[in-house]
Amino acid sequence: MREHGLSDTKKSLQTTLIHSDYMAPGGFAAFPTAIHHASTVVFPDVAALRSRNWQDKSAYTYGLHGTPTSFTLEARLAELEEGKHCVLAPSGLAAIALADFALLKSGDDVLIPDNVYSPSRELGNWLGRDFGVTARYYDPLIGAGIAGLIQPNTRLIWTEAPGSVSMEVPDLPAICRAAHDKGVPVALDNTWSAGIALRAFDLGVDIVMQALTKYQSGGSDVLMGALITRDTALHRKLEAAHMRLGYGIGMDDAYLVLRNLPTLKLRFAAHDAGARKVAAWLKARPEIDCVLHPALPDCPGHENWKRDFSGAGGLFSIIFNRRYSEEQTDRFVDSLKLFKIGFSWGGPHSLCVPYRMPAMRSNWPHPGQLVRLNIGLEEPDDLIADLEQALRAL
Ligand SMILES: *Cc1c(COP(=O)(O)O)cnc(C)c1O
């Protein structure tokens, strides 16, 4: 057995504090993925330094390009979506921006659904204003009709299934067929399904985006995003932009996502069951005109959900009868006790946010107020009781 503190060559205390001779024994076996922090990666010799390529995932080059912790998370997310490659980004929005900057240049055109996650719309508008890219917004229920919008300079089509406030479920196979006929890749914001309830690549999607901030991390404590692909050439483009933009992620955060992946499917099933129970209860209430939950016929694109999805997320929206003013529905939201007011979703806590839809969407058809609910992991009957008392405050 090697004894501590006995070095072959004598070093000063200060140097010893930096260069220790101790090496932990190999062969440690446990379930958690180790958290490997690094900016500098140490090469055994100059030949290794010269021969390694940052894109080659069989070796390490620099912390920005990954450590065993982030390599493991990338591989596990690719497995989950049945893709081949994955790049990680510091947030879901950063992942969306990464795809845009990787695939679009001045003079190009991008098609974005009109119900898109609103910061993504903000990004599209910025690309239009300052980067010479045209961002055009399409009716999320356009389906095969998207063929008529694709121009020779269209380089990317974004989809989101469903849109995260107004909840329309697009016809993904039809959009993908039309896009591929013209050689345009399709990216999907697949956050709502967590990669559990939708097999995106089987439907023809080329790039799957996940806001890991939501279900994958599951604790309302991490921001992270991912872009997953099957096509290696497409992955190379995303990876090159990732390197050029310097999109590092923290390994402690990667660990938190890895820690919660084993329970993802079970948590998702619980969110799904709770949300359907609450949605069904709300549907029967006279105060509510529409429940925009993809598993209910009220939701535009419900047929697409039935055909393509094997489950539903915990996020849906309700539309109040038009006799209730914004002041009244705000009072409803303020009266909720278990549902907290806040953005994001996918954690154990139920959340709600009122949205002013006419300002967000062109041709919004509903005159009543919209409130979005995220059903957490509380007992659904307790959530229903909370909604019931808040409805009395209307
Ligand atoms: C939250 C969210 C994002 C962005 O994720 P962040 O990590 O918060 O940047 C993108 N798309 C959808 C549908 C989301 O819900």
| Rg of the chain (C-alpha set) | 24
| Antiparallel, parallel or unpaired: β 225-229 and 85-89 | antiparallel
Question: Residue 238: inside a domain, yes or no?
Answer: yes
256 plus 131 within the same structural domain: yes
| Domain CATH code at residue 378 | 3.90.1150.10
Contact yes or no for 227/99 (Cβ under 8 A): yes
**pTM to 2 decimals?**
0.95
| Closest C-alpha residue for ligand 1 atom 5 | 92
310 plus 225 within the same structural domain: no
| Domain CATH code at residue 225 | 3.40.640.10
241 plus 348 within the same structural domain: no
228 plus 332 within the same structural domain: no
220 plus 358 within the same structural domain: no
CA of 152 relative to ligand 1 center, distance in Å? 30
Look at residues 211, 235, 261 and tell me which one is the last residue of a structural domain. Answer: 261
225 plus 348 within the same structural domain: no
Question: Residue 29: inside a domain, yes or no?
Answer: no
Atom nearest to 93 CA in ligand 1: 9
Contact yes or no for 371/332 (Cβ under 8 A): yes
Question: Residue 187: inside a domain, yes or no?
Answer: yes
253 plus 198 within the same structural domain: yes
Question: Residue 39: inside a domain, yes or no?
Answer: no
Residue that the structure tokens 């499917």 belong to? 265
Look at residues 261, 284, 301 and tell me which one is the last residue of a structural domain. Answer: 261
225 plus 280 within the same structural domain: no
79 plus 226 within the same structural domain: yes
Question: Residue 21: inside a domain, yes or no?
Answer: no
**What is the model's pLDDT at position 363?**
86
Q: Give the mutation target among 160, 165, 168, 191 for probing the ligand 1 site: most ligand atoms within 8 A of CB.
A: 191
198 plus 292 within the same structural domain: no
Q: Which of 98, 304, 344, 300 is nearest to 197 (CA)?
A: 304
In order along its 394 residues, the chain shows pLDDT tens digits of: 445 555 567 889 999 999 998 999 999 999 999 999 999 999 999 999 999 999 999 999 999 999 999 999 999 999 999 999 999 999 999 999 999 999 999 999 999 999 999 999 999 999 999 999 999 999 999 999 999 999 999 999 999 999 989 999 999 999 999 999 999 999 999 999 999 999 999 999 999 999 999 999 999 999 999 999 999 999 999 999 999 999 999 999 999 999 999 999 999 999 999 999 999 999 999 999 999 999 999 999 999 999 999 999 999 999 999 999 999 999 999 999 999 999 999 999 999 999 999 988 888 999 999 999 999 999 999 999 999 999 999 9
Look at residues 215, 239, 261 and tell me which one is the last residue of a structural domain. Answer: 261
Contact yes or no for 90/225 (Cβ under 8 A): yes
DSSP bridge pairs for 288:
320
232 plus 105 within the same structural domain: yes
273 plus 385 within the same structural domain: yes
User: Taking the CA of residue 103 as centre, how many other CA atoms within 13 Å lie in the half-sphere pointing to its CB?
Assistant: 26
d(CA 271, CA 174): 29
DSSP notation for 215-240: TTT-SS----EEEEES-HHHHHHHHH
Residue that the structure tokens 């705000």 belong to? 330
Atom nearest to 214 CA in ligand 1: 1
Atom nearest to 343 CA in ligand 1: 1
* Distance from the Cα of residue 29 to its chain's centroid: 31
Question: Residue 270: inside a domain, yes or no?
Answer: yes
Does the beta carbon of 247 sit less than 6 angstroms from any atom of ligand 1? no
**Number of domains forming the structure of the chain:** 2
Question: Residue 2: inside a domain, yes or no?
Answer: no
Question: Residue 36: inside a domain, yes or no?
Answer: no
Quote the domain boundaries for residue 56. Answer: 46-261
d(CA 173, CA 188): 12
Contact yes or no for 183/206 (Cβ under 8 A): no
**What is the model's pLDDT at position 6?**
53
d(CA 260, CA 255): 9
CA of 222 relative to ligand 1 center, distance in Å? 12
Q: 89: helix, coil or strand?
A: strand
